Amino acid sequence: MQKYGFLTEQQLEQIHEATLDILEHTGVEFRAQAAIDVLTRGGAKAEGVRVFFPRQLVEEQIKKAPSQFTLYARNPENNLTIGGDNLVFSPGYGAPFVTDLDKGRRKGTMEDYENFTKLAGASKNLDITGGILVEPNDVPLELRPTKMLYACIKNTDKCFMGSASGAKNAKDSVEMASILFGGQDLSKKPALISLINSVTPLIYDDRMLGALMEYAKAGQAAVITSLAMAGSTSPATLAGTLVVQNAEVLAGIVLAQLIREGTPVVYGSASTITEMRNAALSIGSPEMAILANASAQLARFYNLPCRGGGAITDSKLPDTQAGYESMMNLLMAHVSGINFVLHAAGILESYNCISYEKFIVDDEICGMVKRIRKGINVNQDTLASDVIKMVGPAGHYLDKDHTFAHFRSEFYPATLSNRVSYDIWDQNGALQSMQVANQLWKETLQNYEPPALPDDVDKELQKFMAKIG
């Protein structure tokens, strides 16, 4: 697939050179001594918590990260290749609130979390069950990571995300994944991918560093991400924001490679602008789509997989604004060559809320984007010269064998979009899209049957969780 990009090769080089200058002379704060020790042994210099990266160290370590890798699921049919021309959709992440048409906006619960794992499992378009689909606020904080991970394991056989809440929770995630795969060493066959966020500008905190180091030791994948906010936590210019983002992401990748050469990483961007009228984060802006595009180019510059995009919006409701901002960001992810799309379904309120109805809408958008990715298949059969000649002028193709042989593979089978006439729509109750989405998520949960988890594996997981609390 031909990829669209805003930046020229010369501009990519300029951003790269500016990044190396920042890493060498300004540095990045690493607020964990264990990480500083690894970096200084590898050739970096430290003054307190600030670490300075020589150019050669950065360029050498970046080359050690794989350009693509396989993420393994308990059902091998759901294994994923991250990188290359592949596009992977993962649902919303990290929202403390949840909403639906029936109950409105409220704090998320464990029941909500389990519901979203089932919706992700039932989806034909989402490739990963998720990580923190919604915060289960009714579960004690120390128990949330293992309970969420267990729900992902129990309710689907797709790949899932590990906890990034510190070293201990990362270790627990690795242990639970190992139990799922029969106690085997997962370093050669990574089963976990985790979201590691820097703190912009130019900081990594001890919690994220602890998680990153544990996953790197275990050979598990990490999406190393910067969320730079142009105008507040990074320069107001998009080029300057890319330099800050790039410095943070590359610093995290260097650490991962120094811990374990070949650790699978994804170059992650969630950078966007600050809404200057109220200093708020804006994830539905066209500038965020532009930054995602540029980030995909930078990732290819370093020969790395890239994370960006998502069905993301600043809207407070699953309304028209939510629709056009979500489609903008998801379609930009496709044309840019993004490999890993986090927040592909459900997100509202600049990451603060996840909606049941929007989850269904976004799943439809993901299906449309995947259809667009397929493009046009051109061969002797699809050119259809024989059937065109047979039908000739003023004929039709509705009853032709060629139509029946191809329409299922050529046409996207919409499940939410209404394509009937006005009269039929009106006779069927004149339902708006949110009302249909409300029906669909309920029907999906009612009819969903999680794939069976072997009893011995389930018992081992339960035993492990009981030890934690």
In terms of Cβ atoms closer than 10 Å to its own Cβ (0-12, 13-18, 19+), residue 235 is middle
CA dist 316 and 399 (Å) reads 46
Q: What are the structure tokens assigned to 446, written together?
A: 């009612």
Query: Tokens 């958008």 map to which residue?
Result: 365
Residue 176, amino acid: M
Domain with CATH 3.20.20.480 in the chain: 68-374
List for the chain the helix, strand, coil content (%; round to 5).
Answer: 50, 15, 40
User: What pLDDT score was predicted for residue 236?
Assistant: 98
Q: What are the structure tokens assigned to 57, written together?
A: 């160290």
User: What pLDDT score was predicted for residue 184?
Assistant: 86
User: Which residues lie closer than 8 Å to 402 by C-beta, 6 or more apart?
Assistant: 384, 386, 387
User: What pLDDT score was predicted for residue 189?
Assistant: 95
User: What pLDDT score was predicted for residue 2?
Assistant: 84
pTM above 0.85, yes or no: yes
Q: What are the structure tokens assigned to 17, written together?
A: 């050179």
Q: Taking the CA atoms of 137, 142, 144 and 147 in sequence, report the sign of the dihedral they define.
A: negative
Which helix (DSSP H) or strand (DSSP E) does residue 422 occupy? Answer: helix 422-427
Are 436 and 418 in contact, with CB atoms under 8 Å apart? Answer: yes
**Following CA atoms 311, 316, 317, 320 in sequence, which dihedral angle do they give, to the nearest 10 degrees?**
-70
Are 239 and 19 in contact, with CB atoms under 8 Å apart? Answer: no
The domain covering 68-374 belongs, at the CATH homologous superfamily level, to Trimethylamine methyltransferase-like (3.20.20.480)
Three-class secondary structure of residue 159 per DSSP: strand
**Which positions of the chain have pLDDT values less than 70?**
none
User: What pLDDT score was predicted for residue 1?
Assistant: 75
Helices and strands (H and E) in the chain: how many: 17, 20
Q: Taking the CA atoms of 91, 92, 98 and 101 in sequence, report the sign of the dihedral they define.
A: negative
User: Which residues lie closer than 8 Å to 50 by C-beta, 6 or more apart?
Assistant: 27, 28, 29
Are 186 and 212 in contact, with CB atoms under 8 Å apart? Answer: no
User: Which residues lie closer than 8 Å to 12 by C-beta, 6 or more apart?
Assistant: 297, 298, 301
User: What pLDDT score was predicted for residue 65?
Assistant: 98
